[in-house]
Amino acid sequence: MNPRVEDETTSLRTCLLQVNGRWGLVAVQLPLLLWLLTLLIWLPWLGNVPLRDWDEALVAGVSRSTAAQPAWDWLLAIKNSESVYLNKPPALHWLIGASIKRFGEVEWAVRLMPSLLASLAIPMIVILRRLLSNGEETERSALCAGLILMTLLPMARHGRLAMLDGTLVSCSLLLISGWLSSKRWPWHGLLAGLGGSGILLLKPPALIGYLAMIGIISFFDTATSRKDSAWGWAIIGLLPGALWHLWHFWQRGNDALVMWGGQGLGRVTEVVGNNSGAWVMPLTEVLEGGWPWILLLPSGMTWAWRHRKTSKGLWELGLLLGSALMVLPLRTQLPWYSHLLWPPIALLCGDALARLLKEGRPHWIPQAWKWIGTLLLISAVILMALNASAALPLPALIAAGLGLLIGGLKLSKPLLLQRQQGLAVMITGWSIGLLALWHSHLWLWELNEIWDPRPVAAQIQSLPADAVVMLDGPTRPSLNWYAKRSLKELTAKPPEQFWLVSERTRQGCQTNRPNADGWALWHCSSADQP
């Protein structure tokens, strides 16, 4: 056999050519099957809780206003039907706006497109893992990485929200996978470029970090040299995103730089809003949200470090380190910023899980899962005894507990088939637990939001169009969304007659429908204000 031809074989080509081999059919169908399974787990009950403030309601409001513009004007984002929106490019807002036009202004329609795009990260992580090596072991590791990323609570929960972070992860995986595969197929550089365009149209400064990460890893990985045509294809793929930014600058001048500066790179050096934080916040999010798979990370990192001189070890460690350097230094920190860390974590944990399936080691991990499952079941029993079922969704605890307990027991067995059954039970139990969590209405929590704006918003909608409605306190995009109007800030000199949304009892104001949580719509007269 010609050695040159043999060297040109990659993991992706091997899998596609081995149609009659043991892994041939699985290699072709695995990404699609995992994606469909992801949709079954992520999409149910998308609309059973109201849109969350920061950033769901803001994204929804911008999407509705932008999509309502005349033809071609929708290329530039606006909010509240009139104000210029400069924080982020409107790519995802266009899709959400189209979904709203098609299905109506309901929560599940707002969250549908972000969920679908975020779910593409699951088949993309499988493809990326294949590109790093080949063979039967690679297929097992790719499957495990996909299952882990699919069932990580933060990945699934934030992927279901009307936010940009889940789609950003999918675009970044397309960028990295396309670049790796362009070594053998130069036109795959186009896929890398399209992934870069997606990042430019979501959070443009992130592209700088990803390009630096890929460039540095490629420099140290001498096996990743590629033909000049791959660069040409990549540039073509970057054109849509680059042309939009040129158009944006032409239309809005220096204001177009806000998404690069104050709302982008500025988050590295200063705090945006009140969202201060430190490097410990993303690490805390990983430690809190990585269960049960986080126990595999030390084993995965150890193995990758031992093989750091190979392309696979170098890329897996490099992606984790690069993603951490993009997230940890930010002075502005929010819980969902850790989203960028989950794909490299899933790659490392997927390798460790594949070795656990094959060899049954390390032994302590199935034992730990067994005890964690036992604790979850005991907690469910205690909550039932205390009549505290509203505090935590008991079906979710029971399903996850049983999955971990039975799965941990079987994963401790000496036979490969038993360990495979154990993983299947564990994935099933944890997935049912996620579905039970979505059904419980308790899956959405962030930033101490404890009141539902919809009752007050319904009252505001019944007011005349010229009524002046003000808000006592910080802005609430969700209230603007549900009320279908922009509430004004309460000033020292309000008009003679006005309406006020407030949590406090207002002297000289009247309300007919006080809310149980204290928030109500008050009719006020400026003459009676203290």
In a domain, 445, yes or no: no
Q: What is residue 475's three-state secondary structure? A: coil
Statement to judge: residues 117 and 193 lie in one domain: yes
Domain with 521 in it: 454-528
In a domain, 89, yes or no: yes
How is the chain split among helix, strand and coil, in percent rounded to 5?
Answer: 65, 5, 30
Statement to judge: residues 413 and 459 lie in one domain: no
pLDDT in tens, 223-282: 666 667 888 999 999 999 999 999 999 988 888 888 887 666 666 666 555 555 666 778
In a domain, 138, yes or no: yes
Of the three residues 301, 326, 353, the one that is the final residue of a domain is: 353
Statement to judge: residues 306 and 405 lie in one domain: no
d(CA 215, CA 213) in angstroms, rounded, equals 5
In a domain, 122, yes or no: yes
Statement to judge: residues 230 and 282 lie in one domain: yes
Q: What is the pLDDT of residue 226?
A: 67
Statement to judge: residues 148 and 274 lie in one domain: yes
In a domain, 446, yes or no: no
Location of structure tokens 């036009």: 101
Statement to judge: residues 121 and 253 lie in one domain: yes
Predicted confidence (pLDDT) at residue 442 exceeds the cutoff of 90: no
H helix runs in 328-363, sequence order: 342-359
Q: How confident is the model at residue 7 (pLDDT cuts 50, 70, 90)?
A: very low
Asked whether 382 and 354 are in contact (CB, 8 A), the reply is: no
Angle at the Cα of 127 from the Cα atoms of 408 and 225, rounded to 5 degrees: 130
Predicted confidence (pLDDT) at residue 287 exceeds the cutoff of 60: yes
Predicted confidence (pLDDT) at residue 16 exceeds the cutoff of 60: no
Statement to judge: residues 103 and 247 lie in one domain: yes
H helix runs in 46-163, sequence order: 56-67, 91-103, 107-119, 121-132, 136-151, 153-159
In a domain, 19, yes or no: no
Q: What is residue 332's three-state secondary structure? A: strand
Statement to judge: residues 341 and 464 lie in one domain: no
Statement to judge: residues 210 and 328 lie in one domain: yes
Statement to judge: residues 142 and 256 lie in one domain: yes
Please tell me the total count of domains within the chain.
Answer: 3
pTM listed for this prediction: 0.88
Q: What is the pLDDT of residue 197?
A: 97
In a domain, 402, yes or no: yes
Helix (H) or strand (E) holding 276: none
- DSSP letters of 11-51? HHHHHHH-TTSTTHHHHHHHHHHHHHHHHHHHSTTTTSSPP
pLDDT in tens, 189-203: 999 999 999 999 999
Predicted confidence (pLDDT) at residue 83 exceeds the cutoff of 90: no
pLDDT in tens, 60-74: 999 999 988 887 888
Statement to judge: residues 44 and 155 lie in one domain: yes
In a domain, 43, yes or no: yes
For the ranges 132-136, 154-158, 161-165, 300-304, which has the lowest average pLDDT? Answer: 132-136
d(CA 123, CA 118) in angstroms, rounded, equals 11
Nearest 5°: phi and psi at 120?
Answer: -65, -15
Prior bond to 114 cis, omega within 30? no
Q: What is the pLDDT of residue 2?
A: 41
Statement to judge: residues 415 and 462 lie in one domain: no
